[in-house]
Amino acid sequence: MGADVATTMHDAPTAPLAPIAPIAPSAPIAPVASRRGAAAATLAALAALLGACATPPPAEPAPQAAACPEGTPDGARCLRGRDSVGAHVLLVMPAQWSGVLVVHAHGGPTLGEPKAERADEDIKRWAITVRAGHAWAASVFRRGGVAVRSAAEDTERVRRMFVEHVAKPRRTLLHGQSWGAGVAAKAAEMYPQSWDGVLLTSGVVGGGARSYAFRLDLRAVYQAQCNNHPRPDEPAYPLWMGLPKDAKLTRAELAARVDECLGVRKPPAQRTPDQARRLKTIVDVIRIPEGSVLAHLNWATWHFQDIALNRTGGGNPFDNQRVRYTGSADDAALNAAVPRYAADPAAAARFAADTDPTGQIAVPVLTTHGISDPTAFVELQSAFRQTMEAAGRGGHLVQTFVDSREHSYLGDATYPPLLDALLEWVERGTKPTPAAIAERCEAQAARWDGGCRFLPDYRPAPLESRVAPR
């Protein structure tokens, strides 16, 4: 990713696909007056739904046969193209098709101009889906940056492209990975009739502000310790901004500053006492491994810049005004030194409307997450369960956990049993248990590379136990 946030050629406003209103959770019978009001609201919603159905979205352009990327399973057939708003797509049909389509929402988000090669990287990583006999379809979202709803629209478009030009699947599953899990959750809410089931893996599913709040904490604590991002002789700016619009800082330059202060690229024995002390403070207070400090600072710089410049109208969606930071050698001194920021309500609402899941998912949802994931904390799954339960959809959710510190991929053996269990839930109504999925994995272990590491009894702690509440 380049140092500067670029605006994509498709960043101009486009007419979104008309989402179908999600089904509301069941509720007790209300008094007559309330029922009359509810009936009127229902009629209005029905009229809106019929209006949306009366003007179907435009047909998607036909993809073209193309050579499959390296790493695609042998015998597969690939098609490429761009959808009706210009997003690159890749469609893969296995030699022996199960009749199941898996639509993949990729992680990231990637900044700058979206490139077709992103899908090549994804099919190489997720070739296990095609090896299991399922078709695979993915969009390289038309907008770079932290734009969830538009990515959800692109995910629906690539599904329609497959159905219109390749084949009609007997079942359609939606798979979201990492940041793409938030995209998939949003797509499941916006287009409930498009999906039979949803699989979310290593998901950033706490919503924008809740998922990223610790990165503001990291910027604040880092600045209190290091005072070099920005340096005292550079123009000051609020840290929630990531970087000013015209900043020239590069990733290499930021890495040099971090190494200068913390010695993160040196063996521990070669760090100075001050570097070791400052690094320990950050690791203990923010509760991230020292090996991921630089990566999270990168995201808290350029992704935050994208959020401020392109998503919130220049306002601040993050808040650390009353956060109490703990875990350092002198918490009182640390809390006195960190910069403080209050969220702008309008910016926070705008960010939440784009990024936050509502839990209104009307189909089965299965998740998995490495319990020591250093990129997306496993405690985000507690927040997602709360969201689903608050929406009355807790019964639609089964969560599984894996003994892993990986984020991007949890091993070939992990995913086929999840897909099989989700399909059985969809087709037979058999809701899986974490123990049953672990057993299914063991039964299939000889077929897929890698071992089974499901932890059926694991339950994540609340997110607030990992990230300071605010």
Q: What is the pLDDT of residue 52?
A: 44
Q: What is the pLDDT of residue 181?
A: 98
Torsion angle of the four alpha carbons 85, 89, 95, 99, in this order, in degrees rounded to the nearest 10: -50
At residue 280, the pLDDT reads 98
Say if CB 1 and CB 140 are below 8 A apart: no
Q: What's the CATH superfamily of 64-207+355-465?
A: Alpha/Beta hydrolase fold, catalytic domain (3.40.50.1820)
Mean pLDDT of 409-423: 97
Q: How many CA atoms lie within 13 A of 6 on its CB side?
A: 14
Specify the pLDDT at position 17. Answer: 47
- Residue 18: Cβ within 10 Å count: 17
Residue type, 351: F
- Residue 31 predicted with pLDDT over 90: no
C-alpha 250/C-alpha 193 separation (Å) is 44
pLDDT at 450: 73
| pLDDT over threshold 50, residue 20 | no
Kindly state the average pLDDT of the residues 442-449: 90
* Model confidence at 15: pLDDT above 50: no
CA dihedral over 144, 150, 152, 153, signed as positive or negative: negative
Report the SS3 class of residue 173. strand
Q: What is the pLDDT of residue 55?
A: 66
Strand boundaries in 73-194, DSSP class E: 77-82, 88-93, 100-105, 135-140, 171-177
> Given a cut of 60, is residue 406 above it in pLDDT?
yes
Sequence-separated (6 or more) residues with CB below 8 Å from residue 41: none
- The SS3 of residue 63 is coil
- Stated as kind and residue range, the H or E segment containing 158 is helix 148-165
22 pLDDT band (50/70/90 cuts)?
Answer: very low
Task: State yes or no: pLDDT of 370 exceeds 70.
Answer: yes
Contact 358/388 with Cβ under 8 angstroms?
no
Could you write out the DSSP letters of every residue in 457-469? T--PPPGGGTS--
Q: Average pLDDT of the chain?
A: 90
Q: What percent of the chain has pLDDT over 90?
A: 86
> What is the SS3 assignment for 178?
coil
Asked if 220 and 338 touch (Cβ cutoff 8 Å), the reply is yes
Beta strands in 13-114 (DSSP E): 64-66, 77-82, 88-93, 100-105
pTM: 0.88
How far is residue 206's CA from residue 186's CA, in Å, rounded to a whole number? 12
What pLDDT, on the 0 to 100 scale, is given for residue 398? 98
pLDDT number for residue 54: 54
pLDDT by residue (tens digit) across 145-179? 999 999 999 999 999 999 999 999 999 999 999 99
Q: Give the start-to-end residue ranges of the domains of the chain.
A: 64-207+355-465, 209-352
The answer to whether the CB of 115 falls within 8 A of the CB of 83 is no
Whether 25 shows a pLDDT value over 60: the answer reads: no
Alpha helices by DSSP H, 269-359: 273-286, 293-298, 304-306, 331-337, 345-355
The whole-angstrom separation of Cα 185 and Cα 190 is 9
Question: H-helix or E-strand containing 49?
Answer: helix 32-54
User: What angle, rounded to 10 degrees, do the helices at 273-286 and 208-226 form?
Assistant: 160
- At position 64, the amino acid (one-letter code) is Q
At residue 301 the predicted structure's pLDDT band, cuts being 50, 70 and 90, is: very high
Query: How far apart are the C-alpha atoms of 176 and 287, rounded to whole Å?
Result: 26
Give the CA distances from residue 137 to residues 80, 122, 172, 470, in Å, rounded to whole numbers and listed in that order: 10, 10, 10, 39
Pair type for strands 171-177 and 64-66: unpaired
User: What does the pLDDT average to over 185-214?
Assistant: 97
Indicate if the pLDDT at residue 47 is higher than 60.
Answer: no
Over residues 314-355, the pLDDT tens digits come to: 999 999 999 999 999 999 999 999 999 999 999 999 999 999
